[in-house]
Amino acid sequence: MCGIVGLFLKDKALEPQLGALLTKMLVTMTDRGPDSAGIAIYSDDSTAKSKIVVQSDTPDADFAELDTALSSAIGAPVTMTTASTHAVLSIPLGAIENARAALKTVNPALRIMSRGDNLEIYKEVGLPKDVAARFDIEQMAGSHGIGHTRMATESAVTTMGAHPFNTGDDQCLVHNGSLSNHASLRRKLRREGIHIETENDTEVGAAYLTWQMQKGATLGEALQSSLEDLDGFFTFVVGTKDGFGVVRDPIACKPAVMAETDQYVAFGSEYRALADLPGIENARVWEPEPATVYFWSHTDQPTQEKVA
């Protein structure tokens, strides 16, 4: 049992409140998973930079001069901001793969939480309220985001085992449920060259979507394929650079509720996660259907497709 939240803002006037709204939503889900928590924030700061977020258990030592060392290694300017155990490294566009490879040499102990142009992921062991306070999530602005509080079933309680999982640029996933074929699928994906860091079943789900999209599938097509190729029961919420998607397995035994207004689309494992959102009393509220892919984008019309 885990708790998931997601918020996609249509109204730019709400963007300064994204972190505060997501934090409040996630804290209401605390009793669904007290082990660890994480939030992904998508924002377009118009700096024409890519970002890599790294985590360290010894940040004072590991973050000292990290930006200088990485800049020297990739031959390009790097700036850094820190928040507790996480550091956000801003690098030139197109330099993500080069920087990821260089980090293994600069400091192999660092753990990569996320990479992309718009995405930042912050996650740690602990309760949602503590994790959010640690990184000052309430003060963060953005266009959309997803969050997760975890009750571990498939792997150890660690920072790397916490959600969201990022396996492709500006792509991340949170999950409630359990995948029964994750071990065999992990082996297959690794043979295909997909990097998988942990033994967590959710990371396999995220990596599967990345693999499908690398082969040319759209996110919607990848989510549809997941309904055929992933065994078990699951509710996925997926973040992308310009939107987010939702899919539930054909049995749909894991709870989920959505709400939509002219200002936002929201997801929660339970309605109480949505209850304090602005204008919720006038929202269209519904339970997402089984085996149905939902996706909202800032560049396209919302989509909904039923998989037979």
Catalytic site positions: 2
* Alpha-carbon span 57 to 297, nearest angstrom: 36
What distance in Å separates the CA atoms of residue 57 and residue 211, rounded to the nearest whole number?
30
Distance CA 165, CA 159 (A): 11
Alpha-helix residue ranges (DSSP H) falling in the chain: 18-27, 59-62, 66-74, 96-106, 128-135, 182-191, 201-214, 219-229
How far apart are alpha carbons 61 and 266 in whole angstroms?
A: 39
Helix (H) or strand (E) holding 111, with range, is: strand 111-116
Contact partners, residue 130, CB within 8 Å, separation at least 6: 37
